[in-house]
Amino acid sequence: MDPEGSAISKKVEDFLNVFRKGEEFTQELLKENEKLRFKIAQLETRPQPSHREDGGQVNSLAEKIRLLEEENSALLDKFRLVEEENKDFANRYVEVEAENNNLANLYVASYQLHSTLDFSESLKIILEIVMNLIGAEEFSIVMLDEKTNELSIVAQEGMGPEARSGIRLGQGIIGTAAKTGEAYYRQGDPTELSGVDYDHPLICIPLKIKEHVIGAIVIYKLLIQKPELTGVDYELFSMLAGHAATALFSSQLYSHSERKLTTIQSFLDLLKDKKSSSS
Amino acid sequence: MLKKVLVIDDSALIHQMYKMALMRYKCTIISAKNGQSGLDELARHPDIDLVLLDINMPVMGGLEFLQKVKELGKYSNIPIVIVSTEGKEEDTKKGMEMGAKGYVTKPIQTAALHAMIEKLIPSPG
């Protein structure tokens, strides 16, 4: 074959190859087309949801939402209630804690009051209670002399030289409180004071054994950081009225009996000495 | 764990009051009647966590105690709290300058005292 003839046959061959590839591609497209048609037919035969069914689903979902919202608001209400309860418990805890402290202080005070039979020690303890537990700055303890019917200061704290001793029973606020046995609390704000007036105390607590008054605790001024009397202060006052009275009375009695015992003992010793010297 | 608190005060009432008030806060109390016995207790109990110190006491007062502690140096890690009386701010101020870490005022409020102890020696956890 001449060179021109072989070039033509190569071109024909190339053309035929392109034609064959085109045929294969067309076949593939046809197959793909067939598959798509099948799928369309499948989709067309599937049952479509009706509008009514759509509405039903929406309604049931809305109902579910409503129920969940109700549940949510009920839970919120419960949460609020629990929170309120928690606050209540916290407040009660603080109250119980304060009550515990108060009881502890009352216990300490009464325990200390009865821990001695020494009169001056008892007075010191009462001063400490009034100063440290009540928070008084100027105050005194007065005792009644039943022979003269006069109240005189036996211990005091922070009081100036103008403090008056020798108050007659029934005279003024202190004398009246001691006579009637009724505690005196001045009305109004205890911090509202231009100066201390020893004739007008803030508080006067008669010291009583049953109904028998033996003296009084008289408070003229509270510490500056103590703006008002609290519940426990009144408890302390009522405890002091009885316990301080018995503590003072028994320590006084004890020291009297001790003195008498010493006198009798010395007298007996003297008698013994005389007896032995005469024999 | 129990906190060891040294109370230096000449009043037996105060000691008992602290004991009652602080035992509920896991504190154990060591008592001293004045600054001198306070120093003795510090030497005897090296594990003391805190000192509550009154100012006016016989034998050795609070300010003198603070001075001694400062001079000794070895107790500088123990916080000291002054128990002060209103109207005696000068003493409190002096005490703070001499190394006290805080103060509480009389009449003692247990909650305030506990808060002060918690601030200076926090409980673990």
Which of the residues A96, A108, A111 would you substitute to probe the B interface, choosing the one with the greatest number of B C-beta atoms within 10 Å?
A: A108
Domain-wise residue ranges, chain B: 3-120
Report how many Cβ contacts below 8 Å link chain A to chain B: 58
- Residue A177 in any domain: the answer is yes
- Residue A157 in any domain: the answer is yes
Please give the C-alpha separations between residue A47 and each of A39, A40, A43, A55, A252, in angstroms, as whole numbers. 15, 13, 9, 17, 111
- Total structural domains within chain A: 1
The CATH number assigned to the domain holding A242 equals 3.30.450.40
pLDDT in tens, A155-187: 998 887 777 678 888 888 999 999 999 999 887
Identify any residues that bridge with B28 across adjacent strands, giving them in sequence order: B4
- Residue A24 in any domain: the answer is no
Q: What is the mean pLDDT of chain A?
A: 86
What tokens were used for A191? 């911090």
- Whether the CB of B11 is below 8 Å from some CB of chain A: the reply is yes
pLDDT at A102: 81
Q: Using CB atoms, which residue from A108, A112, A135 is nearest to B107?
A: A135
Q: Provide the 10 A C-beta neighbour count for residue A80.
A: 10
d(CA A34, CA A84): 72
Across residues A199-219, what is the average pLDDT?
90
Across the interface, do A128 and B14 touch by the CB < 8 Å criterion?
yes
Across the interface, do B87 and A224 touch by the CB < 8 Å criterion?
yes
Q: Which of A93-107, A140-154, A186-200 is the most confident on average?
A: A140-154
- Whether the CB of B16 is below 8 Å from some CB of chain A: the reply is yes
Which architecture does CATH list for B3-120? 3-Layer(aba) Sandwich (3.40)
Q: Which long-range contacts (CB under 8 A, 24 or more apart) does A177-183 make?
A: A177/A204, A177/A205, A177/A206, A177/A216, A178/A142, A178/A144, A178/A151, A178/A204, A178/A206, A178/A213, A178/A215, A178/A216, A179/A213, A180/A206, A181/A206, A181/A208, A181/A211, A181/A213, A182/A206, A183/A237, A183/A238, A183/A241
Predicted confidence (pLDDT) at residue A277 exceeds the cutoff of 90:
no
ipTM over 0.90: no
Q: How far is CA B68 from the centre of its chain?
A: 15
Q: Please count the CA atoms within 13 angstroms of the CA of A276 that sit on its side-chain side.
A: 6
pLDDT at A193: 53
Across residues B57-77, what is the average pLDDT?
90
Q: Give the closest residue to B17 by CA, choosing from A95, A257, A103.
A: A103
Q: Give the closest residue to B40 by CA, choosing from B17, B8, B84.
A: B8
Tell me the chain A residues in contact with residue B24 when contact means C-beta distances shorter than 8 Å. Answer: 100
Q: Using CB atoms, which residue from A100, A108, A135 is nearest to B13?
A: A108
Tell me the chain B residues in contact with residue A101 when contact means C-beta distances shorter than 8 Å. Answer: 21, 110-111
- Residue A195 in any domain: the answer is yes
Q: Give the closest residue to B96 by CA, choosing from B58, B57, B55.
A: B55
| AA identity, residue B11 | S
Core vs surface per residue A205-230: b (16+ CB within 10 A) or e: bbbbeeeebbbbbbbbbbbeebeebe
Structural domain of residue A131, as residue ranges? 114-262
Across the interface, do B17 and A132 touch by the CB < 8 Å criterion?
yes
Return all residues near A98 (Cβ < 8 A) that are at least 6 apart: B111
Predicted confidence (pLDDT) at residue B48 exceeds the cutoff of 80:
yes
d(CA A135, CA A191): 12
